[in-house]
Each structure stands twice: as structure tokens, then as C-alpha cells.
């Protein structure tokens, strides 16, 4: 079962537990049910998913804020595209005839939606453990003549890319941070904000940072000064 805001894009509702805060948010919550593990004291986990869903459908009366997630047998690509267009995080695919398996399993396939846009590289952190080159890139975008901090990205690199990036960034080293915001990174290295990176991510957080960012590569076809915070309708799904 999953509980969440009725529509995507309401981070102000997430994490609230006090009744007055919940009511003040003005965001409705819907309770979605997608599987049934026990019914009237009987263990249903060995039954196929289709059977468990059939039992679940008949076990409850569904109203406005109680809904059942139906199993779709086809049209996965279209469903995934529709989910991403609606601003959802993604979809879960499961074998229709499989039993319930507890814990991590290849039976669960996550189809994630990703947004993407360009960001200016304003610094980086040192690598840790066996990593080489750098730990993470510190990213930003232009707003009102200032470079605003958008978070950092530490995934999506291979060894060669890490070493190449470090060499290029060392040539752009500067003693002053280029960001207008305070960046909470101990011993960060600052660089002149001239390199542009293409980044995939799932969403913007409440404090204006990227959630689950992933480095896709450098962009040499766009000037750093033209990189701004793109609105959701302008973002592309890589």
C-alpha cells in the first residue's frame, strides 16, 4: 500500500504529521492499494498477483480517497510516458502470475521518470576511498544576474570521465566561490563557471536542490551564461 499526495508536485505536504499542519497545507491525500498479503487470517502471498488483486478488489469498498491500483497487461511504454507527463516519479512492473516475494527481487522492475537540463559547474569535491578524479560536481544556474546553487552530482561517471573532468577543472581553479548562495561543502574546490553539464534528475526539492541527479556529459553547444532554471514544462526527459 502507498500513501501520498493526490497529485504530483506537492512537496509541502510530504512529511507532515500534525493535524493542523496537514489541514493548513490544503493538499488531499489518497490511499492507494496494490497488493494483498493476508485476508481474513489467511496468507495469500503464494497466490499469483492476478488472484491477489482480484481478492483485494472484492474485499473493500472504494471511495474518493481509497483507490485500487489496477494491473495493466500491455501498453507499458505508453503508460510510462503518460506517468512522466503527469509528473509522477515512475511506475512499478511486476509479473502478473508471480507470487509475492519479500525483500529485493528482480520481480520488481522500476520504470523511473527523469527530467533533464543543463547546469553550470561551479566547483567540485575531492574523491573518497578508491574513487579517482573528483567526488561530486557542484552545480548552479543563473537567476537575476547571480549563479544560484542547485546541489551536487556524484553519479554517472566512469574512471576516464572523472580524470578528464578533474584535469579540465584544475585549469579553471579560483579561490572564490562563484555561487551567490552559501554552499555547505567542506574543503570544496571552486572553479570559474564556464563548463556546462547535462544532468538528469527526478525533481526539484523544496530547498531548490536536485533530487537523484545523474551526470550525462558536458555540453559545448550552450554558453554558461544562458543556463537558467527551466520550468517543468520546458524540461526534457532523457
What are the tens digits of pLDDT across the range 186-199? Answer: 889 999 999 999 99
> Does 51 score more than 80 pLDDT?
yes
Task: Find the mean pLDDT for residues 103-109.
Answer: 78
Length of the chain measured in residues: 238
> Does 1 score more than 60 pLDDT?
no
* Number of neighbouring beta carbons within 10 Å of residue 178: 22
Percent of the chain whose pLDDT exceeds 90: 56
Taking the complete model, does pTM exceed 0.75, yes or no? Answer: no
Task: Find the mean pLDDT for residues 7-14.
Answer: 55
- Check: CB of residue 149 under 8 Å from CB of residue 138: yes
| pLDDT tens, position by position, 124-177 | 999 999 999 999 999 999 999 999 999 999 999 999 999 999 999 999 999 999
Which architecture characterizes domain 2-112 according to CATH? 2-Layer Sandwich (3.30)
| pLDDT tens, position by position, 11-27 | 567 677 888 888 888 88
- Check: CB of residue 147 under 8 Å from CB of residue 133: no
Q: Which residues pair with 67 in a beta bridge?
A: 32
**∠110-57-8 over CA atoms, to 5°?**
45
Most confident stretch, 23-27, 29-33, 46-50: 46-50
> Where along the chain do its domains lie?
2-112, 115-234
> Does 58 score more than 70 pLDDT?
yes
Q: What is the pLDDT of residue 14?
A: 67
Q: What is the pLDDT of residue 83?
A: 78
Check whether domain 115-234 has CATH 1.10.150.240, yes or no: no
Amino acid at each position: 500500500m502507498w500513501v501520498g499526495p493526490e497529485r504530483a508536485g506537492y512537496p509541502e505536504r510530504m512529511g507532515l504529521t500534525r493535524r493542523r499542519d496537514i489541514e493548513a497545507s490544503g493538499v488531499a491525500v489518497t490511499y492507494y492499494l496494490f497488493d494483498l498479503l493476508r485476508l481474513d487470517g489467511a496468507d495469500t502471498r503464494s497466490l499469483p498477483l492476478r488472484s491477489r488483486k482480484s481478492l483485494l478488489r472484492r474485499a473493500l469498498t472504494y471511495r474518493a480517497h481509497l483507490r485500487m491500483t489496477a494491473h495493466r497487461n500491455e501498453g507499458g511504454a505508453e503508460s510510462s510516458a503518460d506517468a512522466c507527463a503527469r509528473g509522477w516519479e515512475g511506475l512499478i512492473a511486476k509479473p502478473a502470475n508471480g507470487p509475492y516475494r519479500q525483500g529485493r527481487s528482480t520481480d520488481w522492475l522500476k520504470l523511473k521518470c527523469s527530467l533533464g537540463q543543463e547546469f553550470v559547474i561551479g566547483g567540485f569535491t575531492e574523491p573518497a576511498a578508491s574513487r579517482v578524479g573528483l567526488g561530486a560536481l557542484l552545480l548552479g544556474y543563473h537567476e537575476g544576474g547571480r549563479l544560484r546553487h542547485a546541489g551536487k552530482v556524484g553519479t554517472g561517471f566512469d574512471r576516464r570521465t572523472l580524470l578528464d573532468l578533474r584535469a579540465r577543472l584544475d585549469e579553471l581553479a579560483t579561490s572564490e566561490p562563484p555561487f551567490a548562495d552559501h554552499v555547505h561543502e567542506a574543503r570544496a574546490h571552486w572553479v570559474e563557471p564556464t563548463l556546462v553539464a547535462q544532468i538528469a534528475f527526478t525533481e526539484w526539492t523544496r530547498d531548490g536542490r536536485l533530487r537523484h541527479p545523474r551526470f550525462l556529459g558536458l555540453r559545448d553547444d550552450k554558453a554558461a551564461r544562458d543556463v537558467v532554471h527551466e520550468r517543468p514544462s520546458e524540461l526534457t526527459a532523457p
